[in-house]
Amino acid sequence: MPVHISEMELQDWMDRLGPQLLRLSTAICHDSVAAEDVVQEAFIKLWRKPPDGGARAIPSWLKRVVTNASINVLQRTRRPAKLPDVSYDPALQHQDRVDQRLDLADEVARITHAMDRMPEDKRIVIVLRVQHQMSYAQIAEAMGIPEGTVMSRLNRARKLLAELVVEQDAQSGRAGDESLPFRPTLGQER
Amino acid sequence: MSSDTDKSTKLSCPDVEAMLSGIIDGELERDLRHAAELHLLECEACRDMVNRAEQLDELVTAAGERQGPDALPDRVRFGVLSTIEREKARRMRIPAVAWSGWAAAAALALLVTIGSLTGWFGGPEPSEPGARLVLAGSQRDAFAGVRMIARVLGGELTEADFDALVRQLAATATDGQPNIVSRLLGDEGRAGLHNLLQNENLTDLQRQVLQQAERLVNELERGETPGQRDWVQLNEGLSRFQLG
């Protein structure tokens, strides 16, 4: 029996998952306008042909559709790597270095900037897992990679992210590598 | 830091580091998870490594929460709904089952008859095609507002309509008006529509279409929900107007 979604239900899904899906797509393709198109198309697809499995299957189905489409957008409009730029917050360069304690907004800016400098495959796997709580199986399906590869890619991604944060901190005069979760001597691959 | 020991029962620090993501993501199989937990119990350095990775994740999560809007923008919502309305309208007008021979001819004849009676196909053809109507001021604004509403609710928005709609909705986003008619037409627009009906240059057909527009707008304002066919019909009727 074909599954059907009424407009009322669709509105409800848009309210519940729309903002989250928009963040997911924006985080992947780095283009808020394209992300809106991706999310719009995903909800239209949902109305045209909802996934088997009923309402419970819809959130992960939508995430997968949005992830795939966002990766496609990214591949079509591949941007140059941002690696050369390390001055993520000019204000930091001038602030009193005695007081290095930053509030959450600054911490988030540090992480956001470091993530922007990551290669796409590593950045996306972190976005999917950490920001959108997708399982390794869902990530594998969405990214078209073996499930066994997800953990190793995540490991490399987290390690690189930590290294980039430390590198930025060094450039901007923040002390120490106390935030580095991995041992710097292990794993040289970026 | 603990040393490498029997790998069948114990994990080394490099082992734990290699599976760090699996540990913090809860994605290890039971035996491995158990071995990792045992290692972490006795290895402070690895516990520290896990804690730092989790702190990094917290910041990544916070960064994600700050990206993008808290609500789905109107542009996306209207994009979805108008596409759906357009597809529904198309389905209403094109029978899904392709018949053949006399059955198809008979069905088509019946459909055309019913369609003419019910207005599926936009009502009667214009008796005075090409009649040009010159509008100005509030009458022109009212016509544009009604046309936009009919396009939205009749499911025939173009990209340009979309942009115009988003601009209009954005401009009226904080006036507390509850529905699309209030926001796209407003009191002035409704008065303009009424004035437009008094325009002496209207043909009978044009007047009929505008009367239908006023009726549908009033129904909507009263909280009633005219059917989509009415809006499709109105949209088609309005599309035949030639404005000078």
pLDDT at residue B6 in the model: 47
> In this structure, are B28 and B129 located in the same domain?
no
In-domain check, residue B188: yes
Domain at A1-80, CATH from 3.10.20, 1.10.3470, 3.40.50, 1.10.1740: 1.10.1740
Can you say how many angstroms the Cα of residue B87 is from the centroid of all Cα atoms in its chain? 12
**What value does the mean pLDDT take over residues A100-121?**
79
> In this structure, are B31 and B102 located in the same domain?
no
pLDDT at A41 over 50: yes
Q: Are A23 and B68 in contact (CB under 8 A)?
A: yes
Nearest residue of chain A to residue B70 (CA atoms): A19
Q: Are A13 and A45 in contact (CB under 8 A)?
A: no
Residue B29, classed as helix, strand or coil, is coil
Structural domain ending residue among the three candidates B25, B41, B65? B65
> In this structure, are B50 and B166 located in the same domain?
no
Q: Which residues pair with B243 in a beta bridge?
A: B133
Between B178 and B171, name the one with better pLDDT: B171
In-domain check, residue B1: no
> In this structure, are B123 and B58 located in the same domain?
no
Q: What is the pLDDT of residues A45-73, one digit of tens each?
A: 999 999 988 888 999 899 999 998 998 88
What is the distance between the alpha carbons of residues B33 and B39, in angstroms, rounded to a whole number? Answer: 10
Q: What is the pLDDT of residues B157-166, one digit of tens each?
A: 665 666 666 6
Of chain A, the percentage scoring pLDDT greater than 90 comes to 35
Domain total of chain B = 2
Q: What is the pLDDT of residues B51-89, one digit of tens each?
A: 999 999 998 988 888 776 778 887 788 888 878 877 776
Write the ipTM.
0.71
* Element at A79 (helix H, strand E): none
CB contact under 8 A, A108 and B62: yes
> In this structure, are B140 and B29 located in the same domain?
no
> In this structure, are B92 and B196 located in the same domain?
yes
Nearest residue, CB atoms, A47 vs list B52, B70, B84: B84
Residues of B near A (CB-CB distance < 8 A)? 14, 17-22, 25, 27, 49-53, 55-57, 59-73, 75-77, 79-81, 83-84, 87
Which architecture does CATH list for A99-190? Orthogonal Bundle (1.10)
Least confident of A107-121, B131-145, B190-204: B131-145
Domain around B177: 74-243
Q: How many CB pairs under 8 A join A and B?
A: 133
Q: Are B25 and A154 in contact (CB under 8 A)?
A: yes
Structure tokens given for B53: 């990775």
> In this structure, are B39 and B131 located in the same domain?
no
